[in-house]
Structure 1
Amino acid sequence: MPTVSDFVIGRVREWGVSRVFGFPGDGIGEFDGALEKAQREGDGLDYVRPTHEEICAFMATAHAKFTGEVGVCIATSSPGAFHMVNGLYDAKMDNQPVVAIVGQQGLNAFGTSNQQASHLERTMADVAVYVQTVVSPAQAQAVVDTAFRTARTQLGPAVIILPHDVQGMEFTTPEPENWVSRSSAVAPSTRIRPPEDDILRAAEIINAGEKVTFFVGHGANGATDEVLEAARRAGAGIITALRGKQVVPADVPYHTQQLGLLGSLPSYHQVKDCDTLVFLGTNYPYGQFLPPSGQARAIQIDLKPEQMGLRYPTELNLWGDVKSTLDALIPHLDVTTDLEWQDRVAAEMVDWEKEMTAQAMQTYDDGVNPRRVYHELNRRLPATAIVTADAGTTADWYGHHIRLQRGMMGDLSGRLASMLAAMPYAMAAKFAYSQRPVICTIGDGAFQMLGMNELITIKKYMAQWSNPQLIILVLHNNDLAQVSWEMRTEDANPVWSASQDVESVDYAGWAELLGFTGIRVHSDDEVEAAWDRAFATQGVTLIDAYTSPNVPPLPPHVTFEFAKNTGEALLKNDPRARDVIRDTAKAVLTEGVERVKDTLHIGNADDEGDAGR
């Protein structure tokens, strides 16, 4: 007779899952045994085991992001489940459907302080959109189905807790019985269209605007054509959130990429001057970069109603998926003949790209220019490339220099902004699309967390990939560079070497030890050849780029507080003050005259806080 574990595995398959990311342990041992039996009998799941449960959860989250499917991760009881929490928060904060299946000690151990027995429901209560312990076979069907259904509809992680003894209990299909729920493995529709009167109101607001800006996030994935058609009709400029880069192709001239510290000056100007702002599938968290209240009429379209009108006082909130909602909205949008706003946005973007190139071509005395590394990567991206970035300065350079074209993909840990996610993201992308080239960009601090370990996972599984090309770029600057800059710019504190220094490791040598190609880059004139060699290699390549930690991730608009805090920090015996001042001066001098004017507010006497600058 089938066990509860047998049933759960089959039910997971019914929900369309073919690959899971797991790590074993005695608390999940009976379930793992059933996984092995199912695999041996030809109806199992593709089981990927990285080196740590946290990586399992990140890979499940990344799988959901790249494929649109539910990601599934599996771990043992308390320690394994606890390790997964960070990756599950990534799913929660970036609105991704993930189901975690975790073990637990036997039912009789509940509340008795047994080894590895803990209150997992209480632990998971904050991160999970649904969490439930299966205490009997009759309950298993409804719990599994509810977990998947809730993960899909509420766009977050659900947790199924399987006590060890329940895993091995005999399973029979539930019959009509009091207290027993019988359920189905049928996915609910998430194609939601708002009412017609709301659609007409939205069209009225957009049609009335003269300077319309679309702010596009990852929630608009799959709606590229609809976004572009709506923008064409409205004469709108387009800004993408960092996780929305892949939604709008970079060659759309009035797409100005990101907004904020990792964004562009044209995006800043769009937000500063627009009279209508349309949020499409984004929960952009940096409200300080959005317009003053009342400047722009605003609409938000999203599947997460609790997040609508949260960052800016919107006039209209449409609960629906972006594609279906725009399908309904587009016929009601007037086709504008006045393209002055759109043309202005496009012209500014041409100038901005020239500046980004100039910044990338600048040379520094204390290491390779990291901007140059990303600039040359961007010039060589294959048509089907997938790029991942980490939460440090790699995110800055990814935002400033990577331009994803139609057909390319890219992602990172967004609202959680967790370090080390770039490696499990890259691996999950490779498992999902093994024929596509994947490029992981990561800092040395994040790589030392768990990324180095995952080269072992890559070695274990790469033979399964139809195209084994995977490139890992490590920014080797011996510093937690993003935090170093944040200490200066946010808190006016100098860098504290005891917390910030990263021990130098021969990362290329570690890759070579595992049989991969290692490339060391010590100067700017070696960058192009390194990328050419990496893309010519049909296998795994690690580029160990010895970059400067002092190249400033200058925002497109430097505020008075940003400049003041940085100056104060450098006066407090910052150990790298001389290098930072020199490198920042080079970066600023590279800027065009108009950028400097904007930064210094020349001619804007009424800008608060700038009178004495």
Structure 2
Amino acid sequence: MSQNVSEFVLDRIKAWGVTRVYGYPGDGIGEFDGALGKADRAGEGVEYIRPTHEEIAALMATAHAKFTGEVGVCIATSSPGAFHMLNGLYDAQMDNQPVVAIVGQQGLAAVGTFTQQESNLERVFADVACYVQTIATPDSAGVVIDTAFRTAMLRKQPAVVVLPHDVQAMPWSEPGAEHWVSRSSDVPASTRITPPAEDVRKMADIINAGERVTFLVGAGARGATDQVLAAAGKAGAGIITALRGKDVVPSDVPFHTQQVGLLGSRPSLTQIKECDTIVLLGTNYPYGEYLPKVGQARGIQVDIKPEQLGLRYPNELNMWGDVGATLDALLPLLEQKDDLGWQEKLADEMREWEAEMGRQAEVAYSDGVNPRRVIRAVNERLPEGVTVTCDAGTTADWYGHHIRLRRGMHGDMSGRLATMLAAMPYAVTAKFAFPDRPAVCTIGDGAFQMLGMNELITVKKYMDRWQDKQLVIVVMHNDDLGQVSWEMRTEDGNPMWRGSQDVETMDYAGYAELLGFQGIAVHSDDEVDAAVERAFAHQGVTLIDAYVSRSVPPLPPHITAEYAMNTAKSLLKGDPVEFDVVKDSAKAMAAEVVERAKGAFGRD
């Protein structure tokens, strides 16, 4: 049967294992959309998910890659649709995810003529994508699609295929063995790279010589949980996870001290300050001030992204390889540590830290619900197999401090890009990736107002496809772009400015109810547990509208002099919520001091 280019491209992406795409239509991609529709009517297509905006489609493709390990695919029309996808593609680029974007273009004769919706898309996408190419002839369709998928998978980056409108409808036939014609392969290449044996031997020697070894584990170690735990067990190592690696190591591992840094734990800070060996496994952790001092620890890094080796710490050994494959080669060479005192110390400190986090969640604030109490209540009720997403902002602090993911659970966010609003498309994508499992989205009201609210419409449209319909959305409602307000105070010594920071209030629970979902408003601390209990008892969509305090400080595990001094400066300059900030910061710090005193004197 004869095919046109669009029909061939659809068959080719299916050959690459694609079963679901995220797209938004338009005339620039119209013939390809027609091929998608024709295949769907014949029962031979891919699942086409159409959210409310192209940016959401690209973020969903990124989330799809993160949750499934497959290539995420997003589709959009020419210039405006293509431009809208950029933010989501940068999320894929900065978090090392394989995504292929297929974007329309005006006809070939119009390229470079300044006609409507024609732009230089190859130039536009040159920075974000590892491969950008236009399918200019039917003979080039196969090699461009194959190269896009293969390159995205190997480099773990987004690739972009530009498909002009007239080329979409051209007849396609099998290319011949002719000059300038490539007959390409649709077979992927393996990324299970193992470093040379002599480097693995050096890695074992360094770890065996260490007395206080720390593993800093990132999302690049996904799929290698058992190897990480086995290696830590032999080396007597403590484990810290980067925020996106939170689900790589189960929370019930006693010497897993969660994250480090502003949204980390004090036991993780202990590890950084006292370790004599640090092993970075699949992480490009960006905060050098929270890594050991130069000369304090011997450093090793293992990463599949060679360009990200040796960027953050003067490592003694940089190893290009897959984390799981590298640890498989390493494990027989590791000596079993008899003295596990380092792990035991960290486990003791972690128990103290969890008690402190519990105390922080119990603090009452004058201007709203304690946000920590809300997230703690969610954490206490997380069902097995759940996916938890969090947004950029203070929700990331509460996620880091209070969410504990057990084996089989998933968690993720926009990491290095840290774009707002990603938590909603991530959570919705989790429902497509795991339709038989629940999902939880934690998001601030500012991010929810961006495009997050729109995605409740997407949920309504598609939720009948999910066997398990439980989706819990927790909106932290404080009418403030809270993270930025605190950054203004703590980083720059400036007061929060209402002109930029205030978020217009609205009834989020009521909005959810308009769409037929369960909406629950929480106005006081004593309503939190019942609201969260009700949400997880409901086999459907629930939005918890939590009216939380805007004055709760996202305190780091160790309050630096700079942090305290800049906050004081901001208050002296006339912070509009000065009284609440002073009072509530004092409460939070008092809770921390009390817990430290208890630990020091061994009292309950």
Q: TM-score range by the shorter chain?
A: over 0.9
Question: CA offset at residue 560 of structure 1?
Answer: 1.1
Whole-Å separation in 2 of the counterparts to 1:532 and 1:92: 38
Question: Is the contact made by 2:473 and 2:543 (CA closer than 8 Å) also made in structure 1?
Answer: yes
Correspondence for 2:107: 106
- 1:187 matched to 2:188? The reply is yes
Whole-Å separation in 1 of the counterparts to 2:61 and 2:432: 11
Correspondence for 1:49: 50
Paired residues for 1:291-370 under 5 Å: 291-370=292-371
Q: SS of the residue aligned with 1:545?
A: strand
Question: Is the contact made by 2:247 and 2:406 (CA closer than 8 Å) also made in structure 1?
Answer: yes
For this pair of structures, how many residues does the alignment match? Answer: 598
- 1:276 matched to 2:277? The reply is yes
Whole-Å separation in 2 of the counterparts to 1:587 and 1:594: 11
Q: Which amino acid aligns with 2:132?
A: V
Question: CA offset at residue 558 of structure 1?
Answer: 1.2
Question: CA offset at residue 75 of structure 1?
Answer: 0.2
Correspondence for 1:16: 17
Whole-Å separation in 2 of the counterparts to 1:8 and 1:103: 13
Correspondence for 1:374: 375
Correspondence for 1:603: none
Question: CA offset at residue 294 of structure 1?
Answer: 1.5
Correspondence for 1:422: 423
Whole-Å separation in 1 of the counterparts to 2:178 and 2:362: 72
TM-score normalised by structure 2 residue count:
0.98
- 1:564 matched to 2:597? The reply is no
Question: CA offset at residue 595 of structure 1?
Answer: 4.2
Q: Which amino acid aligns with 1:280?
A: L
Q: Which amino acid aligns with 1:29?
A: G
Write the deviation string for residues 473-494 of structure 1: whole angstroms up to 9, x where unpaired. Answer: 0000000000000000011110
Correspondence for 2:478: 477
Structure 1: stretches of 5+ with no match in the other structure: 599-613
Question: Is the contact made by 2:385 and 2:410 (CA closer than 8 Å) also made in structure 1?
Answer: yes
Question: Is the contact made by 1:281 and 1:303 (CA closer than 8 Å) also made in structure 2?
Answer: yes
Question: CA offset at residue 32 of structure 1?
Answer: 0.1
Question: CA offset at residue 592 of structure 1?
Answer: 3.8
Question: CA offset at residue 597 of structure 1?
Answer: 12
Question: Is the contact made by 1:355 and 1:592 (CA closer than 8 Å) also made in structure 2?
Answer: no
Question: CA offset at residue 184 of structure 1?
Answer: 1.2
Write the deviation string for residues 29-64 of structure 1: whole angstroms up to 9, x where unpaired. Answer: 000000000111111110000000000000000000
Write the deviation string for residues 323-376 of structure 1: whole angstroms up to 9, x where unpaired. Answer: 110000000000000111111111100100000000001111110000000111
- 1:263 matched to 2:264? The reply is yes
Write the deviation string for residues 403-436 of structure 1: whole angstroms up to 9, x where unpaired. Answer: 0000110000000000000000001100010111
Write the deviation string for residues 99-154 of structure 1: whole angstroms up to 9, x where unpaired. Answer: 00000000000111010000000000000010001100000100000000000000
Whole-Å separation in 1 of the counterparts to 2:409 and 2:363: 28
Q: Which amino acid aligns with 1:56?
A: A
Correspondence for 1:514: 515
Write the deviation string for residues 230-262 of structure 1: whole angstroms up to 9, x where unpaired. Answer: 000000000000000100000000000000001
Paired residues for 1:168-247 under 5 Å: 168-247=169-248
Question: Is the contact made by 1:475 and 1:544 (CA closer than 8 Å) also made in structure 2?
Answer: yes
Q: SS of the residue aligned with 1:561?
A: helix
Q: SS of the residue aligned with 1:591?
A: helix
Q: SS of the residue aligned with 1:298?
A: strand
Q: SS of the residue aligned with 1:317?
A: strand
Whole-Å separation in 2 of the counterparts to 1:173 and 1:91: 33
Structure 2: stretches of 5+ with no match in the other structure: 600-604
Correspondence for 2:83: 82
- Runs of 4+ residues deviating >6 angstroms: none
Identity of aligned residues (%): 69
Correspondence for 1:402: 403
Whole-Å separation in 1 of the counterparts to 2:223 and 2:597: 38
Correspondence for 1:540: 541
RMSD: 1.0
Whole-Å separation in 2 of the counterparts to 1:79 and 1:489: 38
Q: SS of the residue aligned with 1:478?
A: coil
Whole-Å separation in 1 of the counterparts to 2:442 and 2:427: 9
Question: CA offset at residue 594 of structure 1?
Answer: 7.1
Question: CA offset at residue 596 of structure 1?
Answer: 7.7
Q: SS of the residue aligned with 1:20?
A: strand
- 1:582 matched to 2:569? The reply is no
TM-score normalised by structure 1 residue count:
0.97
Whole-Å separation in 2 of the counterparts to 1:570 and 1:176: 74
Q: SS of the residue aligned with 2:3?
A: coil
Write the deviation string for residues 143-173 of structure 1: whole angstroms up to 9, x where unpaired. Answer: 0000000000000100000000000000111
Q: Which amino acid aligns with 1:293?
A: V
Whole-Å separation in 2 of the counterparts to 1:596 and 1:93: 41
Question: CA offset at residue 593 of structure 1?
Answer: 5.1
Paired residues for 1:522-537 under 5 Å: 522-537=523-538
